[in-house]
């Protein structure tokens, strides 16, 4: 069984100032998605599904055809691709969209758009985040072990100090889990950074306190592993979400919200998988030079070839 990679690439990149999913950051113009696909293929994945917006679908499809048409899976078969669009009006029958709403419905809604194209265990990632080859290996192994499974999912947790920014404080959802390694809840912390005294601290969004954090604790960077039964469970939660929020202009349906609901309803469990990989990504234009330097270093150290394809 070859897992599928689901890439969330529908974000408009408004804060970054353009389609950051298409920005060449590697030494030979590679995008972050290029590295994710390279790592996924080498971890045994067989298909990539992109979630995009209709307005840049054609550009995305052309880029993929030109760049990846010759890419082979580990078994020698061609790497498969699918494209699915996320739009505001793609909601269940019986709901009427508020005509004033412009904001997308969120990451969990984006995942639901792929329900008809994915029939095997799959891994969800952000298109503008670099997760590292160990993360894809760990996620791919989990998917293969859970082929045909139901009601157990996973989150790939990154050590907090492997996700920090040199530009200042960041927001991180810190994973809490039980003795069996099952996620119990995620607590968002803001302004997370190493302060002048060398101690890692952040603002707990629940208590409002500025607290000390342990650098090796695991946090979520939105890398999830699901089996196909997730779609049906999530769709039911989305309907309930819309019943309360269909008239809202900004409320979003996020993956952590859906998973948390399943955990507390007792309909699913979520394994916490630890990765040693370093995460990095581009949120603002100012992040770009640092990411370019990191890719150059990875190539110089022989982690990746240049060009990738």
Domain boundaries, the chain: 4-300
Residue 284 is predicted with a pLDDT of 65
Compute and round to an integer the Cα radius of gyration of the chain. Answer: 19
- Closest C-alpha to 52, from 31, 96, 82, 15: 82
Which residues are CB-neighbours of 200 under 8 A, at least 6 positions away? Answer: 160, 161, 192, 193, 194, 212, 213, 214, 215
Rounded to the nearest angstrom, the gap between the alpha carbon of residue 240 and the centroid of all alpha carbons in its chain is 24
Q: What is the mean pLDDT of each run of 10 residues along the chain (309 residues)?
A: 94 46 82 94 97 86 86 95 92 92 93 97 94 98 97 98 89 95 95 95 94 97 98 97 94 95 96 96 79 95 93
Rounded to the nearest angstrom, the gap between the alpha carbon of residue 172 and the centroid of all alpha carbons in its chain is 14
Q: Which two tokens stand for residue 220?
A: 């979520």
pTM of the shown model: 0.93
Specify the CATH architecture of the domain 4-300.
Alpha-Beta Complex (3.90)
């Amino acid at each position: 069984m070859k897992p599928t990679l689901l890439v969330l690439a529908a974000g408009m990149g408004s804060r970054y100032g353009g389609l950051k999913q298409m920005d060449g950051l590697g030494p030979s113009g590679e995008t972050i998605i290029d590295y994710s696909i390279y790592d996924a293929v080498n971890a045994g994945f067989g298909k990539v599904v992109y979630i995009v917006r209709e307005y840049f679908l054609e550009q995305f499809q052309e880029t993929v055809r030109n760049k990846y048409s010759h890419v082979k899976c580990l078994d020698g078969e061609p790497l498969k691709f699918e494209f699915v669009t996320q739009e505001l009006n793609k909601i269940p029958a019986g709901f009427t969209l508020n005509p004033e709403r412009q904001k997308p419905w969120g990451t969990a809604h984006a995942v639901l758009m792929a329900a008809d194209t994915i029939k095997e265990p799959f891994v969800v990632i952000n298109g503008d985040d670099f997760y590292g080859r160990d993360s894809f290996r760990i996620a791919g192994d989990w998917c293969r072990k859970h082929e045909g499974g139901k009601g157990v999912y996973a989150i790939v947790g990154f050590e907090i100090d492997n996700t920090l920014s040199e530009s200042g404080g960041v927001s991180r959802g810190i994973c809490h889990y039980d003795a069996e390694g099952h996620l119990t809840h995620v607590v968002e912390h803001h302004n997370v950074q190493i302060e002048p005294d060398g101690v890692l601290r952040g603002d707990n969004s629940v208590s409002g306190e500025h607290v000390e954090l342990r650098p090796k604790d695991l946090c979520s960077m939105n890398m999830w592993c699901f089996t196909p039964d997730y779609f049906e469970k999530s769709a039911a939660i989305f309907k309930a979400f819309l019943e309360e929020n269909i008239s809202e202009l900004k409320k979003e349906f996020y993956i952590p919200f859906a998973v948390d609901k399943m955990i507390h309803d007792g309909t699913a469990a979520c394994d916490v998988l630890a990765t040693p990989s370093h995460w990095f990504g581009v949120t603002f234009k100012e992040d770009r030079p640092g990411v370019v330097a990191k890719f150059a270093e990875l190539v110089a150290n022989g982690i990746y070839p240049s060009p990738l394809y």
